[in-house]
Amino acid sequence: MYEASSYMMPKSLGSSLVTIIYRCNPANPLQLFKDFKENMIEDFIQQGNSVKKSLKLCVYDIRMQIQQDGFDFNQFLPFPNFEDISHCEDDLVNCTVNSNNLLWNDLNSVQLLAADTILKSIVGLNSQKCFPIEFLNTLNRSGLSSYKLNLKIACIVMFLRNLSVNKGLCNGIRIIVRAFHQNVLQLEIITDAFFGTVHFIPRISLDTSNDPALPFNFVRHQFPVRLAYAMTINKSQGHTFDKVGLYLPEPCFSHGQFYTESSRATESNGLKIQAKDTTRQSKTDNGKTETDNAVYREIFL
């Protein structure tokens, strides 16, 4: 179990504990659970549960696995009405602090209460409040507007949400800023069939609930736009431009990407390509840099 806890996910570690309990017949299965309970409840804590509730959910999950295999849960882990784990939250907090603070036993009752409150808010439901505002303002995730937008009249921006597809306000469309009002932006669409259409856009709530890289739900109230200095190849699909500048620091990696971008210009003399001289680019016989066009032959079979 010690080796498995270093690389196994909490859910898999709980399944391994169940297998060890009724196949290896350990001398003290309850102590084995207590030794690794911190590792097995990580998933539940990250979901916003307190330590006490996470322990109950973990025990319930183990109970279900044991009963599905046809064994009696109380025979292996006797937790009648969860009485034995009622103090597990305090034990976990005390264990964590004792291992890192040699002065723990010298604290008075008021100081101990304050330390318990701080630790419970870190591992409990209040963990989302531990991030400073300055850090949250620096987050710049995909599909999320910047905390501070520096815009000016006639600058080109990209829309980040499907606000109204019927009116042309969809993700990836390019629009131009025409005016600033107290609570709205006056924008004009400059591409597609909605060219010249003017819209007034308010601030909306942009959330990151689907972002697996963030351990918390984050909502920012901002205009759903971002400066459009450039756009990705995928964003350019379905658009046509008078002039296209294609910047390739490395070769295209997906089938049809190079064709998609090179066909966005209305005329051949409106297309300029810069392929940087890097180790991933190819070389011609005379030493010039060339880029690869990714084409998967299996698609045409």
pLDDT mean over 143-167 = 85
Statement to judge: residues 192 and 295 lie in one domain = no
Nearest to 55 by CA among 75, 82, 32, 28: 82
Confidence of residue 179 (pLDDT cuts 50, 70, 90): very high
How buried is residue 104: exposed, middle or buried, by Cβ count under 10 Å (0-12/13-18/19+)? Answer: middle
Q: In terms of residue numbers, what domain contains 10?
A: 4-129
Statement to judge: residues 121 and 151 lie in one domain = no
Report yes or no on 204 lying in a domain: yes
Query: What is the dihedral angle through the alpha carbons of 111, 132, 46, 50, rounded to the nearest 10 degrees?
Result: 30
Rounded to whole angstroms, the Cα distance separating 241 from 222 reads: 29
How buried is residue 62: exposed, middle or buried, by Cβ count under 10 Å (0-12/13-18/19+)? Answer: buried
The tokens for 55 are 């322990």
Mean pLDDT of the chain: 72
Strand partners, 18: none
Statement to judge: residues 100 and 210 lie in one domain = no
Report yes or no on 135 lying in a domain: no
Statement to judge: residues 123 and 11 lie in one domain = yes
Give SS3 for 199.
strand
Task: Quote the pTM value.
Answer: 0.40
Statement to judge: residues 121 and 52 lie in one domain = yes
Listed range (29-43, 52-66, 78-92, 118-132) with the worst mean pLDDT: 78-92
Statement to judge: residues 259 and 292 lie in one domain = yes
Bridging pattern class, strands 198-202 and 204-207: unpaired
The tokens for 11 are 């859910």
Statement to judge: residues 20 and 44 lie in one domain = yes
